[in-house]
Structure 1
Amino acid sequence: MTKILMVCLGNICRSPLAEGILKSKLPDDSFFVDSAGTANYHVGNPPDKRSIAVAKKHGLNISNLKGRQFKVSDFDRFDLIYVMDESNYNNVTTLARNNQDVSKVKMILNVVYPDQDYDVPDPYYGGDNGFENVYNMLDAACSIIADSLK
């Protein structure tokens, strides 16, 4: 079974969306998808209501997800770790114990725009439109990831 982790700052906006989107594109008997945040602000909380709403609009239910913080043991548990922005990348790779850990960490939009290191913007302080834009970015990236893994 291939295990994939999506990571953002608080694990309530971008990474739960990415988790839900990728789960919808992969068979759950061969793939496990989870999400985490680099910060501990929202541990145990559901995703932001705007993330839940945009997911629902696209036929996905992420309301049952709960925020958790990234742990060093996630390097052992997951085969691929996709981060949403450069700050997340730096926070995760700082915890890496070796080059093998670092090699698992990828900027998610690099699957769409190779080697560009574009950030998925954090929609938390913006309006609802930001969540739709983030959904579309993550949907494009997750389609490519799913196609490459099948």
Structure 2
Amino acid sequence: MKSVLFVCTGNICRSPTADGVFRQMVAAAGLAGRVRVDSAGTHGYHIGDPPDPRTVRAAATRGYDLSPLQARKLMAADFDRFDLLLAMDRGHLDIMRRMAPSGGTAELALFTAWAPAPFTNRDVPDPYYGGDAGFTEVLDMVEAGARALLRRVVD
């Protein structure tokens, strides 16, 4: 089984969006039993909380259900439990690299590393302090990145 962990700051906006979108794409591709999907935050600000209500609303407008998700903090064990840890921005990637235990088996990368232009290798912006347009932009980037990631995971 392949496994993917999406990582942002508090695990209430960007990474749960990626989790929900990718999880649905995996299921639609008939791979639900073959690809494990989860998300976490680099910080424990919101442990046990659901995704931000604005995130949930934005995702719902495109048919994604984020209601089962709860925030959790990235743990050292995640670096062996998952094949691929994907940071939503470069700051998260730096934190993950510092946290990674020596001999960890997970590949660490920026979420948009395989996304098509214009999203390739770009940070997914944090919509938390902005308006609704920021959540829509995150969805646009996540959908494009998740489609590219699905092709990578399937190959």
Structure 2 length as normaliser, TM-score? 0.90
When the two chains are superposed, the root-mean-square deviation of aligned CA atoms in Å is 1.5
Instruction: For structure 1, list consecutive stretches of 5 or more residues without a partner in the other structure.
Output: none
In the alignment, which of 32, 36, 47 is matched to residue 32 of structure 1? 36
Deviation string, structure 1 residues 93-119 (Cα, Å, up to 9, x no partner):
101123655x611101111269x6421
Asked if structure 2 preserves the Cα contact closer than 8 Å seen for 1:86 and 1:117, the reply is no
In the alignment, which of 106, 112, 115 is matched to residue 112 of structure 1? 115
In the alignment, which of 141, 146, 152 is matched to residue 148 of structure 1? 152
Counterpart in the other structure of 1:93: 97
Q: Amino acid of the residue matched to residue 7 of structure 2?
A: V
Q: Distance in 2 between matches of 1:89 and 1:46?
A: 23
Counterpart in the other structure of 1:61: 65
Runs in 1 of length 4+ with deviation above 2 angstroms?
98-101
1:42 aligns to 2:46 (yes or no): yes
Deviation string, structure 1 residues 17-54 (Cα, Å, up to 9, x no partner):
00011111112110110000000100000000011011
Asked if structure 2 preserves the Cα contact closer than 8 Å seen for 1:8 and 1:38, the reply is yes
Asked if structure 1 preserves the Cα contact closer than 8 Å seen for 2:80 and 2:104, the reply is no
Asked if structure 2 preserves the Cα contact closer than 8 Å seen for 1:84 and 1:120, the reply is yes
Q: Distance in 1 between matches of 2:74 and 2:104?
A: 17
**What secondary structure sits across from 2:147 in the alignment?**
helix
In the alignment, which of 126, 129, 138 is matched to residue 130 of structure 2? 126
Alignment CA distance shift 1:99-1:121 (3 Å): farther
Give % identity.
Answer: 38
